[in-house]
Structure 1
Amino acid sequence: MEIALNGYYTMILATLVLLLGRFLIVKIRFLSDFNIPEPVAGGLVAGLLVVVLNAFFGLTFKFETQLQTAFMLMFFSSIGLSADFSRLKAGGKPLAIFLMVVAAFILLQNVVGVGMASVLGLEPLIGLVTGSITLTGGHGTAGAWGPVLESRYGITGATTLGIATATFGLVAGGLIGGPVARYLIKKIGHQKLPKPENQTEVEAVAASQSLYSTRHTEEGDQPDEAMFDKPDEIRLITASSTIETLALFAGCMAFAGVMTTVAKGTAFELPTFVWALAGGVIIRNVLTNFFKFDMFDRAIDVFGNASLSLFLAMALLSLRLWELTDLALPVMVILVVQTLVMMLYASFVTFRVMGSDYDAAVLAAGHCGFGMGATPTAIANMQAITDRYGVSYKAFLIVPMVGAFFVDLVNAAILQVFTQLPFLR
């Protein structure tokens, strides 16, 4: 028996999932230590409950999808609206180099995923789900690509698999970053570590208090704007700023709708959420660079966070975990290999390209964090290292900007290329 729930009831259940997730994260230390987002913690419990109801009572649920789609588009619009390319210039040459290192790893991650899937007898596109869609992209990208892979390419259970894989990635990214950095620090020798006596009092306080903090979200997690703006200036979200921000989101979503229709059946046919992200990038950079418009980043962050949480909660309520029974073992094999590849790449590529010094070791730990999980995982990895060995301002400037503002743009472009390859379709 199928129970259909309209938008109101879907919203109520989604908020209950978020409240449950918040409660679980407060009570279960493992969840907070590994930066498991509230909608994931609560949603997986709700998903298990749905499995039980299906197994014992034959119940399935059909949730309103229009709200879920709208929140997904708002989230990707927020990523685009936050991608100010002037920040690339602010980060300088090291940021550009690190972005290229990350882009090369995204390619490798997908090659490994697709190759392993083919060897294990799975659909090659499942390799993308166990590649950068979920590991670099996180839960938000997994939830967005899942329906596309299911409807357009016939990959059963892609959304469910994506959420499960992204959760694995968060845990794995938090586990491997520290050991990788400690190995690299031992390799360069303690004489090359930053000396505490050379830090000013202000620097020491900044290091101990983790001045470079990020907001805690899923995949797509963005840093606090205090990092780039004026840390002592608090800009309150007013009715006027709310209206302005909603107008920007509406523009992104309208652009996405128009371009999805116009590009359908052409070489530029893209998933709607990619057009929403692209629309945000265009609107952001045109308004700020040509019209000197003062974007209210705090409001964009708030709306993006809320949209992501509600989108994930609704997506997790719709999971059909029973569809994954045949995929469990081969997918786990792929994920173990992906974890080893991440460790080797961070140790022998990221570390060496970024200078083979202490900053490079901390960057390697950060890369493990968002290469397998999300930006908050990267920050947690780096904080654990710098608390013990000394501050790395270079790493705490570069990783949040790449992990939050630019990696999703690169990932979307690379994934679009992979999905168009003839042998994968």
Structure 2
Amino acid sequence: MVLDERTTLMTAIVVYFLGKWLNRRFKVLQQFNIPEAVTGGILAASISAFLYYLFSLEITFSLASRDLFLIVFFTTIGLNAKISSLVKGGQSLLLLLILAVMFLVVQNIIGVSVFSFFGMPAISGLLGGSISLSGGHGTAIAWSSEFHEQYAIYGALELALACATFGLIFGGILGGPIAKYLVERHKLKPTVRSAKPLAVGVSYRNAKFASVNIDQFLISIFIILAAIGLGHHLAVLLQHLNFELPLFVCCLFVGIILSNTVPYLFKIRSWPSDSASLSFISDLCLGLFLAMSLMSIQLWTLTSLALPFVVLLVFQVIATMLYATLVVFRVLGKDYDAAVMASGYAGLTLGATPTAIANMTAVTQHYAPSTKAFIVVPLVGAFFIDILNALVISQFVSWLG
């Protein structure tokens, strides 16, 4: 069964509200900061798997609009960014980047070690390391063909995608509980209390009272569209210079540039930064993107994993939990911002940048805003980590190939 764009979007909305209802119905989900879209998305994927096993019915979604939601979301993150915040987060950005690169190596060592223990080719362990986990589905697809053609690793694509799928699910589940543990274990308080809206989302306590001004909403839409247009031109320019970046990264940087120049040069008071309208748009796009991503996961592909891959992924999840709580949190300052960034890092290193943002959104909805976290983690995840991951993977391939 193939669902068109309209039906896919309708399904995503139902899935999002289903997750929202479940999180409010079962307080444990809210207490452990499980993102609403993750709750609904996993349930929807489980229902799809049930239909597949019971009736051999495979549901395929049309996901073109999902990419648009991702672009709009990262544009809003850029428009909310302030240079002053970037300067404050500079040290944290560098530290998290160093920690992330170190863990890329750890992930690959775990993959190689587990597969070698089971008598499999050591190089195939990279498919369950930073290729599929920190890299995600895109990196898994890009590298699996080389493993198949150059090293005769048959089924490389299926195995890498299965690991990436597993990581995406657990990346969305673990982040919230990690933040809850750190905040309550260390009795953390927000670094700065602010009456401004959350960077993404509305707190649970204020959800009924959130208001969006129609004028500000339309201004936000206009500026977002302008930023996306400029981001597209930037991406094309970089391609001509033989330097390629994903479109959503270009839009993120354009948003940052616009928000730190235009309002000051032209004295625009109605600029959407820190507005409820921009937070509303961010929340909407992130929720629908994550709902679409998770509800389209084919869980039955996970059953094809052999014992080595199950053991591998268990070790990867345990390593992520320990690294986020014992290393990332402590190195980044052991404060509230560090706890939020640790929850985001768990989603980033197992899933993808949107998963990291969803984790941090759920945490800040439950506790308080964290401006630094919403600047540092997206920049590490959306730009730096992909480039450095490619270098790390290439080095491991040269060692093991």
- Is structure 2 residue 343 aligned with structure 1 residue 369? yes
Q: Which residue of 2 aligns with 1:113?
A: 107
5+ residue gaps, structure 1, are 134-144, 186-206, 226-233, 355-359, 384-395
Q: Alpha-carbon deviation of 1:224?
A: 6.9
Tell me the distance in 2 between the aligned counterparts of 1:235 and 1:293.
24
Is 2:377 the partner of 1:407?
yes
Correspondence list, 1:230-269, <5 A:
237-264=212-239, 267-269=242-244
Residue number in structure 1 paired with 2:151:
none
| Alpha-carbon distance between aligned partners in 1 of 2:251 and 2:104, rounded to the nearest angstrom | 23
CA distance in 1, matches of 2:242, 2:328: 35
Distance in 2 (alpha carbons) for counterparts of 1:118 and 1:215: 45
Q: CA deviation at 1:308?
A: 0.9
Query: Amino acid of the residue matched to residue 126 of structure 2?
Result: P
Sort the Cα spacing of 1:266 and 1:317 in 2 relative to 1 into closer, same or farther, 3 A. farther
Query: Do residues 53 (structure 1) and 51 (structure 2) align?
Result: yes
- For residues 70-89 of structure 1, the aligned pairs below 5 Å read 70-88=68-86
> What is the CA-CA distance between 1:314 and the residue it aligns to?
1.4
Structure 2 residue 171 is matched with structure 1 residue 166: yes
- Post-superposition shift, 1:15? 1.0
Aligned match of 2:318:
336
State the 1:269 CA deviation: 1.4
What is the TM-score when the length of structure 1 is the normalising length?
Answer: 0.70
Quote the residue 2:25 is aligned against. Answer: 27
More deviation, 404-413/253-262: 253-262
CA deviations over 1:219-255 (Å, ceiling 9, x no partner): xx64779xxxxxxxx9964443223211222223323
Distance 1:127 1:104, change over 3 A: same
CA offsets, 1:123-159, max 9 Å, x none? 53643377656xxxxxxxxxxx53x225433442465
Distance 1:413 1:347, change over 3 A: closer
Q: What displacement does 1:289 show? A: 4.2
Matches of 1:238 and 1:363, distance apart in 2: 30
* 2:295 pairs with 1:317: yes
Aligned length in residues: 348
Q: How many angstroms does 1:23 deviate by? A: 1.3
CA 1:37–1:175 in structure 2 vs 1: closer, same or farther (change >3 Å)? closer
- Secondary structure of residue in 2 paired with 1:128: coil
CA distance in 1, matches of 2:336, 2:293: 34
The correspondence for 1:104, drawn from 88, 98, 117, is 98
| Contact kept? 1:109, 1:131, Cα under 8 Å | no
**Can you list the C-alpha shifts for 1:299-343, whole angstroms capped at 9, x where unaligned?**
221111101111111112210112223243311211101222223
Identity level (%): 21
Describe how 1:3-42 pairs up with structure 2 within 5 A: 3-42=1-40
Letter in 2 for 1:423: Q
How does the TM-score come out when normalised to structure 2?
A: 0.74
SS in 1 for 2:161: coil
Q: State the shift of 1:41 in Å.
A: 0.6
Aligned-residue RMSD, C-alpha: 3.5
Matched, 1:280 2:274: no
Which residue is 1:305 aligned to?
283
Aligned to 1:128: 130
Match of residue 67 from structure 2: 69
Residues in 1 aligned to 2:131 and 2:179: alpha-carbon distance in whole angstroms: 20
